[in-house]
């Protein structure tokens, strides 16, 4: 197709302004469901390229855009737009201007890439119809607030604007892959992510008379210790799973045994059966370990995202697209990762594929990990990300 031959030139024309946009978004981060400035910027950029869009979705800050094409069903391309409640610790000229909030997960880069893809595809559509319609999902609230489910509920896949969607693609900046590489994997690529809170109730007493207490500290330690056997002794050793306790609070004084305490953490699994198993086992272990120490425990769960499962045929389309990008290298990821991504919600409705965009410069010091206060997206990855997304749309 002639338009594929023109992609490099079209992207090169857009690249300087996309870098400026990415840095502007980085400097003005907004957490989930508060991305009003970001959404307005996205809407402005789309309308400037004559791309039809529907704003104020998914809790008010999501944007859905659409370019018509010849087929009855659309392909969707998705970017997450929210930032994290982290204090930025870089010295960048475009560092966050909002105390306590920063783009520490590359969503600024994802957003710029999708704006770039929309611009380029709009230019192509001015010359000839696209082979199929393209829907662009600028999704808020990926970081634990259910943004994908909100987008789906607001018709993102069923034609809220344009045609119904038959398959969807998303990407994520990956500091552990070299620049100009793309990581792909059939099946599970990321884990489910559920949060839990364990409430432990006992009986308080003066620390000098511990025999009068029902010490929640001892019970909490027993719960944490016993919970380590959930994965090691009740999950198939060939299946990856995680039970992590990450926060604990009990008592305030050095000489008083508290009445109660709480613990918080996360459960991770790569399939729905293990996900349900971890939840059931944590309830069981917490209750019985607490009883051994004459306390009571209850567990509350905050359901997060399911595992991200890549459709085989959709992922093969990603492979074809990456192979066509000059200078881009395809990397088959040998194992899944235990991080979570709510892109997984789309895959419960239509074929979906989520791929990893390398951003580590060769020979440079290792980039900080995602969610680190010194993380920054690599602008040199924007062009490859835009071209891969465009090729997926034009397949």
Q: How much is the pLDDT for 1?
A: 47
The chain-wide mean pLDDT, for the chain, equals: 97
Residue 395 has pLDDT above 90, yes or no: no
Q: Residue 6 — very low, low, confident or very high, per pLDDT cuts 50/70/90?
A: confident
Distance CA 220, CA 383 (A): 50
Q: Report pLDDT digits (tens) over 220-234.
A: 999 999 999 999 999
Reported as half-sphere exposure (CB side, CA atoms, 13 A), residue 187 has a value of 7
Residue 175 has pLDDT above 50, yes or no: yes
CATH code given to domain 192-305: 3.30.70.360
Non-local (6+) Cβ contacts of 80 within 8 A are 107, 110, 111, 139, 140, 142, 143, 147, 170, 343
Q: Report pLDDT digits (tens) over 325-338.
A: 999 999 999 999 99
Q: Residue 3 — very low, low, confident or very high, per pLDDT cuts 50/70/90?
A: low
The reported pTM is: 0.95
Is residue 325 within 8 Å of residue 4, measured between CB atoms? no
DSSP string, 317-361: HHHHHHHHSTT-EEEE-SS-BS---TTHHHHTTS-EEEEEEEEEP
DSSP state of 58: T
Across residues 260-286, what is the average pLDDT?
98
Cα torsion 356, 359, 362, 365: sign: negative
Residues counted in the chain: 395
Q: Report pLDDT digits (tens) over 103-139.
A: 999 999 999 999 999 999 999 999 999 999 999 999 9
Q: Which CATH superfamily is domain 2-190+308-394 in?
A: Zn peptidases (3.40.630.10)
The reply to whether 192-305 shares the fold of 2-190+308-394 is no
Q: How much is the pLDDT for 114?
A: 99
Q: Residue 70 — very low, low, confident or very high, per pLDDT cuts 50/70/90?
A: very high
Residue 2 has pLDDT above 70, yes or no: no
Q: Report phi then psi at 239, rounded to 5.
A: -105, 135
Across residues 364-384, what is the average pLDDT?
97
> Where along the chain do its domains lie?
2-190+308-394, 192-305
């Amino acid at each position: 197709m002639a338009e594929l031959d023109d992609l490099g030139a079209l992207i090169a024309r857009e690249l300087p302004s996309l870098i400026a946009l990415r840095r502007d978004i980085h400097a003005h981060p907004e957490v989930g469901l508060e991305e009003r400035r970001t959404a307005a910027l996205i809407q402005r950029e789309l309308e400037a390229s004559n791309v039809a869009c529907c704003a104020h979705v998914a809790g008010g800050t999501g944007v859905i855009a659409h370019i018509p094409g010849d087929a009855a069903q659309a392909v969707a391309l998705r970017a997450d737009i929210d930032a994290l409640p982290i204090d930025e610790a870089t010295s960048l000229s475009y560092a966050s201007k909002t105390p306590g909030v920063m783009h520490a997960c590359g969503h600024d880069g994802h957003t710029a890439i999708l704006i770039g893809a929309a611009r380029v595809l709009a230019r192509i559509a001015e010359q000839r119809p696209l082979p199929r319609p393209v829907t662009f999902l600028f999704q808020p609230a990926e970081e634990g607030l259910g943004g994908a489910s909100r987008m789906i509920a607001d018709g993102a896949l069923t034609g809220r604007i344009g045609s119904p969607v038959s398959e969807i693609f998303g990407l994520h900046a990956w500091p552990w892959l070299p620049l100009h590489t793309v990581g792909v994997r059939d099946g599970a690529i990321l884990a489910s992510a559920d949060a839990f809170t364990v409430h432990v109730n006992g009986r308080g007493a003066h620390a000098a008379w511990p025999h009068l207490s029902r010490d929640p500290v001892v019970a909490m330690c027993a719960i944490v210790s016993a919970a380590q056997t959930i994965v090691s002794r009740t999950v198939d050793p060939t299946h990856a799973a995680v039970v992590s306790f990450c926060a604990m609070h009990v008592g305030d004084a050095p000489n008083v045994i508290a009445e109660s305490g709480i613990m918080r953490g996360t459960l991770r699994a790569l399939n729905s059966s293990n996900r349900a198993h971890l939840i059931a086992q944590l309830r069981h272990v917490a209750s019985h370990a607490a009883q051994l120490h004459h306390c009571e425990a209850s567990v509350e769960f905050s359901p997060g995202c399911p595992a991200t499962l890549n459709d085989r045929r959709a992922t093969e389309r990603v492979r074809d697209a990456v192979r066509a990008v000059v200078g881009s290298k395809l990397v088959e990821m040998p194992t899944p990762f235990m991080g979570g991504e709510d892109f997984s919600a789309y895959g419960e409705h239509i074929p979906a594929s989520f791929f990893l965009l390398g951003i580590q410069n060769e020979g440079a010091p290792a980039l900080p990990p995602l969610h680190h206060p010194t993380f920054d997206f690599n602008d040199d990855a924007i062009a490859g990300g835009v071209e891969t997304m465009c090729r997926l749309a034009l397949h």
